[in-house]
Structure 1
Amino acid sequence: MKYATTIIINKPIKEIIEAFEDPDLLPHWQRGLKRSRVISGKNGEVGSKRKLYINMEGQSIKMTETILKKDLPEEWHGKYSSKGMESIQKNYFESLSENKTKWTSYSEFKFSGFMKLVSKILPDIFKKRSILVQQDFKAFIEDGKSVKTN
């Protein structure tokens, strides 16, 4: 499954990249993220791996993030792996003006086991989640609205 999502954020690209890269801010715009920790490599560098603990739709999910490419402020690519699913996220940032930035994310998913069935029955949930993440990021960086729960 492949798709792209795009959002315009009313902030300078420098501010967006600083927030995007700050692991302490992730719970404020990654809905359901309970905690994360680096498990190999240096935080934020290509090849580093981070374990993410997420509650989503009543399910506890452990996911591993691997940074594949980092050429900021223009692009950042990561791989996400969990039981039954692997996805590649290619994020591109473009400064449209001094205070306006376009964020385009290209997503590609591969499924196995039970997740293959879920992807066939509910294919839209993945794209909806991607759109929600971008909207949550926009609300956080523009208005300080956090999705963090205790």
Structure 2
Amino acid sequence: MKTIKIILGIITAIVVVFFATGLLIKETSYTTQVTVNKPVKEVFETFSNSENIKEWIPEIKSFEVINENIGKIGSSYKMVIENQGQEIAMTQKVIAYVKNEKLTLFFDAENMLKRDDYIFTEKEGNTIITLNTSCQSESFLMACMFPYFKGTFEKQDQSYLNNLKAFIEENKSSVDSFQ
């Protein structure tokens, strides 16, 4: 009987910690970074061209424009990604755009609200892309889980940045006319 009480006590403590996580941690944030061996104009142009997104995020099944504004800010897009055999529809909205410097995107993917803030800096002819990300959930249970998956989210975004780097460095630039 004493063993059962100990086991139930441990299970109760784990459940309390899990639910407390959702109450105490409202946002999961992290930073990833990559250096691309190309000038910032070329990197930013390739990155901000929506036709290229499937080249560095392979899970994207479709990408369509909902509305595209002249200054980019406020533009919105619909994306469908495949995650472990399941299709997830999401909207992407541009909330900040400074050419060759910054692009901030907001994603609404069912129970996940994600903000990606891409900062582009040039150093010695190379471009450093810094991605500051924050995730929240509309669902309490998902909010309890996000902090435990921070490493997974971070690893996935770093993989996308590495894919972007490879795509840009391997392809002949259409931006050579800027130089």
The two structures share one fold, judged by TM-score above 0.5 = yes
- Please say if 1:132 is aligned against 2:166: no
Equivalent residue number for residue 94 of structure 1: 121
Out of 47, 68, 77, which is 2:95 matched to?
68
Question: Which sections of structure 2, spanning at least 5 residues, go unmatched?
Answer: 1-27, 172-179
TM superposition score normalised by structure 1: 0.87
**Kept in 2: contact 1:54–1:62 (CA 8 A):** yes
Out of 11, 35, 48, which is 1:8 matched to?
35
* Structural RMSD (CA): 1.7
CA distance in 1, matches of 2:70, 2:85: 29
Cα deviation 1:92-130 (Å, max 9, x = unaligned)? 0001122x1100010010013353354244332211111
Out of 53, 56, 71, which is 1:26 matched to?
53
Q: Which has the larger radius of gyration?
A: 2
Task: Give the 3-state SS of the residue equivalent to 1:132 in structure 2.
Answer: helix
Question: Which sections of structure 1, spanning at least 5 residues, go unmatched?
Answer: 145-150
- Please say if 1:106 is aligned against 2:135: no
Which has more helix, going by share of residues? 2
TM superposition score normalised by structure 2: 0.74
Which has more strand, going by share of residues? 1
Equivalent residue number for residue 67 of structure 2: 40
**Kept in 2: contact 1:44–1:67 (CA 8 A):** no
Q: % of aligned pairs identical? A: 25
Q: Displacement of 1:131 after TM fit?
A: 0.5
Count of matched residue positions in the alignment of Structure 1 and Structure 2: 143
Out of 127, 136, 143, which is 2:170 matched to?
143
- Please say if 1:116 is aligned against 2:151: no
